Amino acid sequence: MSNLTIDGRRLWDMLMETAAIGGTPKGGIRRLTLSDEDRRVRDWFRTECEALGCTVHLDTAGNMVAIRPGKDNTRKPIAMGSHLDTQPTGGKFDGVLGVLGGLEVLKTLHHAGFETHAPVALVNWTNEEGARFSPSMVGSAVYAGAYSQAEMDAFKDGDGITQGEALDAIGYRGKDKPGALGFQAYFELHIEQGPILEEEAKTIGIVTGIQGIKWFNVSITARESHAGTTPMPYRRDALAAFAEAATAIRQIALDHAPNGLATIGIVSAHPGSPNIIPGEVRFTLDMRNPSDDELAVMVTKAKIAIAEAAARHFGAHEIKPLQDSPATPFDKTCIAMVRGATEKLGLEAREITSGAGHDAMYVARVCPTSMIFVPCKEGLSHNEAESSTLEDCAHGAQVLLEAVLAYDART
């Protein structure tokens, strides 16, 4: 490893500069994937990378891969990356830190005139958040072969626009086949999005893997009728059935504590009139657990709870899988590189499992992968108040640099 030092202030200034692209009055960012704001930040990213002598590749999924040449360009690149899209009321750090932390690594190498043995790549993945087009992490999923390009292009947003149409509209569909440009290894820097590092006064999380995640689209169908003339015993109320199912699902997660998690993030009642008993309720269900076996048990219990609640109100139900991501262990060598970096730098660190899904989850299917976490205030993320410190961001980028160089030194 070298004695190169990243510029924490320069990284922080980039974070604040890009936060203005889609910036919200409350200090967050609204930069939905494949929106005009996404196009603008992509333009900024391309310009910054090309100024460092990188070649920016673009695949048919819209993934951007900037490559800095090495001494031996026959070797596959060692990659860094994350995403620049945000939630509708997102913060300044989720995803963005991983891309800009990687950009700061490239700037540090460039300004020092340091030449790595292998090329070094930096990736901006398309639609990690899944906020506009579901499911999430689609760009990396297509890269890893989990979804086809046709499947990605067909996903629709709330206005009926397909993801393919939106990608073409902002001019960021490339010609390269996703996955054709392989990596030796992949390292992703990210805020923790949870409270553990802050509570334990740790500077770095050495991420050993990602817990299993299952998403579903669910509907309960009963019978709509007049709110003022239908006696309570005669009602077939889809919303009442949903309420019972939601309460049961929460209890299922509590019964599987501390690892079980269940979230109903989107709910809509139809036909949506104040004086009509809802005849249909549609909702999303997100269930997570580090153990695939335990997660499967949770899902089975949730399906039973939904079916029983619908039946009690003389209704029907439908459960459609939306996303299925098994628990993902990371590569031991990549983890060792991150751990070695923290030891070299004398940083307080701990091993940690990621509760959230990340692009690294799919990339791990095709190449050695690990992640680096830094603390965020009160563990808050997917929120405009999301916050980290200049020092923690700088430490994370320094660990990223050291891990990449250590991996490069062994090739």
User: Residues annotated as binding site?
Assistant: 83, 94, 129, 190, 382
Which of 182, 187, 186 shows the shortest CA–CA distance to 75?
A: 182
- Cα within 13 Å of Cα(175), Cβ side: 0
Q: Which residue has the tokens 């309720």?
A: 281
**Calpha distance 296→241 (Å, rounded):** 23
CA 191 to centroid of chain Cα atoms: 11
**Calpha distance 56→79 (Å, rounded):** 13
CA 196 to centroid of chain Cα atoms: 19
What is the radius of gyration, based on Cα positions, of the chain? 23
Output the six-digit token pair for 272. 């949506």
3-state helix, strand, coil in the chain (%, to 5): 35, 25, 40
Q: What is the SS3 assignment for 261?
A: strand
**Calpha distance 11→84 (Å, rounded):** 15
| Phi, psi torsion values for 70, nearest 5 degrees | -120, -170
Which of 326, 323, 334 shows the shortest CA–CA distance to 290?
A: 326
The binding site for Zn(2+) comprises 83, 94, 129, 190, 382
**Calpha distance 128→151 (Å, rounded):** 15
CA angle 307–310–313, rounded 5-degree value:
150
